[in-house]
Amino acid sequence: MGCGKMMAGGLHDKNERFAAWMDVMRIGNTEVAKNMHISGIHVWKVKEGKAELSDSFAWKFGQAYGFDLAQRLFSTDREPA
């Protein structure tokens, strides 16, 4: 996948949930970046797991799309399946 070290141990479940949300919503990197006031390249890197989904990213996402959604997508306090 190109970033095996970062993906090991489920570190990027948040990135995967973000990517899945983008796919379901049929929203592109450019639109998300515009709404979050960040670069499209950064959105792409987060979506692809090439950059950490930081607290700052989650906060900006919450400002753009709502904090309830941000918490559902990015919370690490999940019950095991």
Q: What is the DSSP string of 11-72?
A: TTHHHHHHHHHHHHHT--HHHHHHHHTS-HHHHHHHHHTSS---HHHHHHHHHHH-HHHHHH
Domain ranges of the chain: 11-68
**Each residue of 44-77: pLDDT tens digit?**
999 999 999 999 999 999 999 999 999 999 987 6
44 within 8 A of 31, measured Cβ to Cβ: no
Local structure of residue 76 (DSSP, 8 states): S
Kindly report the backbone phi and psi dihedral angles of residue 11, in degrees, each rounded to the nearest multiple of 5, phi listed first.
-60, -25
User: Is 0.85 topped by the overall pTM?
Assistant: no
Indicate the class that CATH gives domain 11-68: mainly alpha
